[in-house]
Structure formats: C-alpha cells, structure tokens
Amino acid sequence: MSDPGFFQSALVYLTAAVISVPIAKRLGLGSVLGYLAAGVGIGPHVLGLVGGSSSSSEVMHIAESGVVVMLFLIGLELKISALWRMRGTLLGLGGSQMLACGMILGVGAWLWGIELKSALLIGFILALSSTAIVLQTLREKSLHATAGGRHAFATLLFQDIAVIPLLAILPLLASTSASAANDIHSATHLSGAMQGLAICAAIASVVLAGRWLLPFLFSYIANAGLREIFTATALLLVLAIGGLMSLVGLSPALGAFVAGVVLASSPYRHELEGDLEPFKGLLLGLFFISVGASMDLQLILKDPLGITLLLAGFVIIKGSVLAALGKLFNFAPGATPLYTLSMFQGGEFAFVLFSQATTLGILTLDQSARFNAIVALSMALTPLALLAGRNWLKPPTDSDATPHREADAIEHSSPVILAGFGRYGNYVGRLLRSQGFRPVVLETDAEHVELTRRLGFEVHYGDATRLDILHAAGAQHAKLLVIAISDEETIDLLVATARRHFPHLEIVTRATGMDHRLRLIQQGVHHVFHELAGSALDAGTQTLRLLGIPAYPAERAARKFRRWDIESARDLAPIRLQDESAYFAIIRERVANLESLFRSDPTHEGSADAKAWQPPSSPKTPPAQT
C-alpha cells in the first residue's frame, strides 16, 4: 500500500472513469463506451498514463474478475430449474452459433491467406462474443429480459463453455508444440480424460459446497454481525471459485456462474447480491478501461484501411450469421435485430486466446495485433450499434410480453416485500402464503432465517433498511412493502428510505405504540397498525364473554372499539405534534364519547348503533307490528 504507484494508478483509473462515464451516459452512449474511451485516453497511445497491453496485463487480470463477479450475480438470479428450462436454447442455439460463426469466419480467415487449421481456430475465437459488454449494455437498457436478450444470454453461456475445448486445442495446433506448450494453462498438461475428471470434480465440489457448506458458513459469519466480513466472505468465495476453475482449465466466469446458480435458492442470496453489486460495477469498469487502454492505436493509424476492411469483413460476416440464426430458430419478432446488434462483437477471451496462439507460434505478432484490434473496436461499436438500431429494436414489445418458454429464466419478483419475519411478520407472511402470495421476506436475524427456512418459508437474510438490499429484493417492481420489524427507529428508517427511493411502494406498517402510530400517520403512511391492538382486543372480547356478554355483541363491541380507535388515531395525528394540551383535551373528550357510544340504554341519545336489535318495547311499536 505504501507503493506510491498504487495510488497513482488508482487515481488515474478513477479520474478517467469519473470524467468519461457520466459524459457517455448523458450522451446516451451507455457506460461501456465511456469506460472504453477512458481507457483509450489514459492508454499508452494518447496520454500514456498507464502502460500498454503488456504492462497493464496485471490490471487486466484484476479487471477480469469483474466478469467473474458478474456471472456469479447472474447465476444468483437463476434457479437450477430455470437453467434446466433453458437447456434447449442453450445447446441448440448456442451450439449452432459457435459452429456456424466459427466455420464461416474460419473460411474467411483462410481466404485472407491464413493456413487452414489456424484460420479455423481464429474463426472459432472470433465467434465468441463479449459477455461483459453484452450483458452490461442490455441491462442498462433493460433489454435483458426480452426474448432477444434471453437468446443472447443463452448463447453467451454456451460460449463460456466452448472456451474450454478451444483452450485445449491450442497446443495441438502449435507447429513447435514441444517448446511452446509449457506456457499454456497448467491444466492442459493433464491428459484429456484427467482434465475431464478434474473439471467434474471441481464442479461437483462447488455444487456440494454450495448446498451444504456455504449456508453453514454464511449463517456463522452473519451471526458474528460483522458486515464487512460478510462482504469479504462473499468476495473470497467468488474469487476462490474462479481460481479453482481456472486451475482445472475451466473459464473462471463459468465456475462462478455455477456457484451462483447453486446459491440462487439460498436465503443469503439478496445479501450476496447487495454486497457484490458495487464490486461488479467497479471491476467491470476497470475491465472495460483496460480493454480501451490495450487498443493498439498505432497499428490502427498505420494501416487504417486494412484494419477497417478487416473489421468490416468480420462484423458483416458475424452479423449476417447471427441474423440468419435468428430466422432459422424462428425468433419472436424484434428478437433477431437485438440478438444480431448485441452479439456481433468479439469477446474478451479472444485477447487471451490470441496471445496464447502467438506464444505457441500459431499466429504472427502482426496477425494477433490486428485481430486484437478488431475485437476491441467491435466491442466499442456495440453500444453504438444498439443506439443506432434502437428504433428498429423497439416496436414489438407486445410480443415480447407474451409468455415464452423460458420466460421465468430471469425470475420475476414478488409484488410484496415483507420486512421482518419474527413473531409479528411470520403471521403476516403465513396469511399471505395461505392465499398463494409469496412475499420476498427479508430478515436480519440469521438464526431466525434458518429456522423459518426449515419450516418451508422463503426468507432472505438482509437488512431491509439498506437501499441495495431493497433493490435486490425487487423494490422497484414490487407494489407493497409490509414492515413487520419490532424496532421503532428501524421502522422509521425503512419508511423514510422506501418513500424516498421507491415512492410507488404502498407501505403497510407495524407501529410500536400510540405515539409512534400517530407519527407515522402524520408522515402520510396510510396503513399503520398498532402492534398490540389485535391481540389485546381479542383478550378483551374473551373477557367480555366470560363476564356474560353473548358472543355476538362482544364481537361487535370489539370491532366497534377497533374502528373508534383507528378513527381517533387519524383525527389525533395532526394535533399530536402541534399542541400538547389540545391533544390531551381531545383525548379526554374522545374517551368520554366512547362510553356514550357504547351505552345500550334505549332512551339514550347516542349512536343509532347502540340500539341494534332493540325490539319495539313501547306500545307505540313500529307500524308493522301493531
């Protein structure tokens, strides 16, 4: 940390991002382009504040963990069942995309003058698209849940799997395999069968740990009550999985994705999401910046025509194949343009694969520099292409809304968020569930979370007063927020947060006492319930019955009292804060009023309700009876 270089580069990266990203967003270009531009700006060819592709490989490494964290988070939103439902698209569409793009781009490279085997390798490398760019851009534009977005997602997932054989094939293509192979991934030293075994073992251990070990670990950490340690655990988990996966030759991002899927049904899901989200954003930003910084402007300036032609050739071929796939797979209207415009670029794995291919002597330095350049440029083109095509992408939103096979791949949030699942909240939750509603339940007591889950409830560990947790719970889509927390200050805090950030949410809240209740009503919360009123009035009703009042009148008395109580609170709320003495005067008056309200003396000039079921007793009976 004492290394001044660290502060310097941190300063450079952060400043570049802070300046360029908001500008890019304001211009409607999206954050990705802003980061890329920032990278070009601080890169070796413009300001020269950070090194070129070789010296920034360190940064690139850290930055890649942004992609890992992102895929972990995506995995968290996908239950295994949802993934299973995607299998058709995943294998069919994903496989066809890799095969078609790889072959056709390969032939293109061959025609361009590269030896056939290497040409095919290049074709398959270029067939990969950029998970980071596509998903970040689609999310930013809220296009990820549309049919086209889902097809893109499935394809990207397949590509992440396809990286494995590509990595394995590389050394086999090397002309001087013996000398160069030692530079390759450690796992490729293993025989094919051994590697397969290692991969299976790694995935199995992630799945098993996710099922049995992690819930235990999380509840242990959560019980310690140390927020930052929980965050650290989350981060450690994701990076460790990434490390383990690259050890066996699997894409770290894919491993993190698997771990995410395994943890998708864990109660800590929302907490993990909330904790990792900022890291994801920053690390992805760093990733995009380093892509920008590694762009070889010199090469581009030296041979602008050659690069442009190569880029055009690549984009046109890949784009046409993608569009053809959309037709072939009979995409919903509107999905094909989105799929094409979002997936035509090269992926981040291309950088890794090209550099390895160069080390192995499969590609010349010049070739790999050119291919790296067109991949980076195609990435930069993506946000622009989506921007240019936005009118084209828009129209068929209706057909996107019609239920599609994989519609719940990205899970839709519940209309109700229930904050607190203790002695109070569990009643609310159970009642809602009895009518088929599945609230997103948030609870901070880790022990409680476990217990309630064992009882078969879907509870999430998370502090509902935190904005990120509310976001993760889907507050922006929910209709109702039920506050069942016991602590007065926490309730107030949550009410304030919810009203500021999610003004559309209707709030139903528990109040700890009369004063609290009046304050909440004054603040404009409509549905405020005294936490003890229900139970106390039940006890009172029962006492009346034991005193000899028949059940029905006792019931009505309690209901009437409750109504009177609610009305009183509503009337008193505006006075409470203004004038203490007026407040108590009104309370006295209302209490006196209460007695007359309930007096059942028929001669009494009270409310008509007090005379309910009063038979005509005087000789002047109602006309009907005389």
Partner 1 sequence: MRRRILLLHAHPMPHRSRVNRHLVTAAESIAGITIRHLYELYPDYMIDVDAEQKLLLDHDIIVLQHPFFWYSAPALVKEWLDLVLQYGWAYGEGGTALQGKSLLQSVTTGGAAEVYCSAGRNRHTVREFLLPFEQTARLCGMTYLDPFVVHGTGQLQTEADLAPHSQAYCTLLSNLASGIDLPPSP
Ligand X SMILES: Cc1cc2nc3c(=O)[nH]c(=O)nc-3n(C[C@H](O)[C@H](O)[C@H](O)COP(=O)(O)O)c2cc1C
Among ligand X, partner 1, none, partner that 549 touches (CB below 5 to 8 angstroms by kind): partner 1
63 within 8 A of 69, measured Cβ to Cβ: no
Q: How far is the CB of 621 from ligand X (least distance, A)?
A: 8
Specify the DSSP class assigned to residue 183. Answer: G
Contact residues for 45 (Cβ-Cβ < 8 A; gap 6+): 295, 296, 297, 298
Q: How far is the CB of 491 from ligand X (least distance, A)?
A: 45
Sole residue written with tokens 């993190």: 256
Q: Is 303 in the site for partner 1 (CB under 8 A)?
A: no
Specify the DSSP class assigned to residue 581. Answer: H
Q: Is 542 in the site for partner 1 (CB under 8 A)?
A: no
Q: Which residue type is seen at 608?
A: A
Contact residues for 525 (Cβ-Cβ < 8 A; gap 6+): 495, 507, 509
Output the CA angle 39-43-48, nearest 5 degrees: 145
Q: Is 435 in the site for ligand X (CB under 6 A)?
A: no
Among ligand X, partner 1, none, partner that 81 touches (CB below 5 to 8 angstroms by kind): none
Among partner 1, ligand X, none, partner that 551 touches (CB below 5 to 8 angstroms by kind): partner 1
Among ligand X, partner 1, none, partner that 197 touches (CB below 5 to 8 angstroms by kind): none
Among ligand X, partner 1, none, partner that 617 touches (CB below 5 to 8 angstroms by kind): partner 1
Burial class of residue 280 in the structure, from the number of CB atoms within 10 Å of its CB (0-12 exposed, 13-18 middle, 19+ buried) = buried
**3-state secondary structure at position 229:** helix
Among partner 1, ligand X, none, partner that 236 touches (CB below 5 to 8 angstroms by kind): none
Q: Which stretch binds partner 1 (CB under 8 A): 52-60, 393-401, 548-556, 563-571?
A: 548-556
Out of 191, 434, 578, 625, name the contact with ligand X by CB under 6 A. 625
**Number of other CB atoms surrounding residue 405 within 10 Å:** 12
238 within 8 A of 214, measured Cβ to Cβ: no
Q: How far is the CB of 619 from ligand X (least distance, A)?
A: 14
Q: How far is the CB of 613 from ligand X (least distance, A)?
A: 5
610 within 8 A of 600, measured Cβ to Cβ: yes
597 within 8 A of 580, measured Cβ to Cβ: no
Please state, in angstroms and rounded to a whole number, the distance separating the CA atoms of residues 552 and 555: 5
Q: Rank residues 200 and 551 by Cβ distance to ligand X and give the closer one.
A: 551
Please state, in angstroms and rounded to a whole number, the distance separating the CA atoms of residues 520 and 233: 38
Contact residues for 605 (Cβ-Cβ < 8 A; gap 6+): none
Please state, in angstroms and rounded to a whole number, the distance separating the CA atoms of residues 158 and 412: 23
Q: Is 626 in the site for partner 1 (CB under 8 A)?
A: yes
Q: How far is the CB of 561 from partner 1 (least distance, A)?
A: 14
Q: How far is the CB of 560 from ligand X (least distance, A)?
A: 18
Q: Is 603 in the site for ligand X (CB under 6 A)?
A: no
Among ligand X, partner 1, none, partner that 297 touches (CB below 5 to 8 angstroms by kind): none
Q: Rank residues 403 and 615 by Cβ distance to ligand X and give the closer one.
A: 615
Q: Is 623 in the site for partner 1 (CB under 8 A)?
A: yes
Contacts with ligand X by CB under 6 A: the residue count is 4
Burial class of residue 615 in the structure, from the number of CB atoms within 10 Å of its CB (0-12 exposed, 13-18 middle, 19+ buried) = exposed
Out of 120, 317, 554, 569, name the contact with partner 1 by CB under 8 A. 554
Contact residues for 10 (Cβ-Cβ < 8 A; gap 6+): none
Q: How far is the CB of 544 from ligand X (least distance, A)?
A: 20
Q: Which stretch binds partner 1 (CB under 8 A): 57-65, 447-455, 475-483, 617-625?
A: 617-625
Q: Is 551 in the site for partner 1 (CB under 8 A)?
A: yes
Q: Is 549 in the site for partner 1 (CB under 8 A)?
A: yes
Specify the DSSP class assigned to residue 363. Answer: S
Q: How far is the CB of 615 from ligand X (least distance, A)?
A: 3
Contacts with partner 1 by CB under 8 A: the residue count is 20
229 within 8 A of 275, measured Cβ to Cβ: no
- Which structure tokens are listed for 625? 């009876």
Contact residues for 9 (Cβ-Cβ < 8 A; gap 6+): 50, 59
Strand partners, 597: none
- Which structure tokens are listed for 487? 């602590």
Q: How far is the CB of 482 from partner 1 (least distance, A)?
A: 23
Burial 409-432 (b: 16+ CB within 10 A, else e): beeeebebbbbbbeebbbebbeeb
Out of 216, 220, 392, 552, name the contact with partner 1 by CB under 8 A. 552
Q: Is 435 in the site for partner 1 (CB under 8 A)?
A: no
Q: Is 431 in the site for partner 1 (CB under 8 A)?
A: no
Q: Which stretch binds partner 1 (CB under 8 A): 78-86, 139-147, 365-373, 544-552?
A: 544-552
Pairing of β 416-419 and β 440-443: parallel
Q: Is 619 in the site for ligand X (CB under 6 A)?
A: no
Q: Which residue's CB comes closest to ligand X? A: 615
Out of 550, 603, 608, 620, name the contact with partner 1 by CB under 8 A. 550
* Count of helices and strands (H, E) across the chain: 30, 6
> On the CB side of 456, how many CA atoms lie within 13 Å of its CA?
3
Q: Which stretch binds partner 1 (CB under 8 A): 85-93, 146-154, 448-456, 609-617?
A: 609-617
Among ligand X, partner 1, none, partner that 401 touches (CB below 5 to 8 angstroms by kind): none
Among partner 1, ligand X, none, partner that 621 touches (CB below 5 to 8 angstroms by kind): partner 1
Q: Rank residues 306 and 616 by Cβ distance to ligand X and give the closer one.
A: 616
Q: Rank residues 408 and 555 by Cβ distance to partner 1 and give the closer one.
A: 555
34 within 8 A of 291, measured Cβ to Cβ: no
Out of 1, 365, 547, 624, name the contact with ligand X by CB under 6 A. 624
94 within 8 A of 154, measured Cβ to Cβ: yes
Q: Rank residues 435 and 618 by Cβ distance to ligand X and give the closer one.
A: 618
Out of 615, 619, 620, 623, name the contact with ligand X by CB under 6 A. 615
Q: Is 613 in the site for ligand X (CB under 6 A)?
A: yes
Q: Is 625 in the site for partner 1 (CB under 8 A)?
A: yes
376 within 8 A of 310, measured Cβ to Cβ: no
Can you give the binding site for partner 1, defined by CB under 8 A?
A: 548-556, 612-617, 621, 623-626
Binding region for ligand X (CB under 6 A)? 613, 615, 624-625
